């Protein structure tokens, strides 16, 4: 952490402002009339602005940011 103070919300207030990079990918496959299969995935490479902190025994402890991901699939039918 490059300098900063701790507030009661759990965030370390510092000079970092880069939230990270998000990658999104999705596709649709129409395999029959009135039917489709959707697949989507997301990944977030978290930046240093998402670091958290907490006070343990009166001392500030910072926690590194963690990357996030999500995937979803669905079958859509229309009549």
Q: How many residues are recorded in the chain?
A: 79
Burial class of residue 55, CB neighbours in 10 A (0-12, 13-18, 19+): exposed
Residue 26 CB coordination number (10 Å): 10
Per-residue pLDDT, 33: 93
Average pLDDT in the 54-61 region?
79
How high is the pLDDT of residue 7? Answer: 56
In sequence order, which residues have a C-beta less than 8 Å from that of residue 57 and are 6 or more positions away? none
The 8-class DSSP code of residue 11 comes to B
Name the band, by pLDDT with cuts 50, 70 and 90, for residue 17: confident
Q: What is the mean pLDDT of residues 23-32?
A: 97
Is the pLDDT at 10 greater than 80, yes or no?
Answer: no
Confidence check: pLDDT of 42 > 90: yes
Q: What is the mean pLDDT of the chain?
A: 85
3-state DSSP call for residue 24?
Answer: strand
């Amino acid at each position: 952490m490059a300098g900063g103070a701790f507030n009661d919300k759990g965030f370390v207030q510092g000079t970092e402002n880069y939230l990270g990079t998000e990658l999104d990918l999705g596709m649709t496959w129409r395999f029959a009339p009135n039917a489709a299969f959707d697949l989507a995935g997301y990944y977030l490479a978290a930046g240093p602005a998402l670091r958290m902190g907490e006070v343990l025994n009166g001392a500030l402890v910072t926690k590194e940011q963690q990357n996030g991901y999500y995937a979803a699939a669905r079958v859509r039918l229309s009549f």
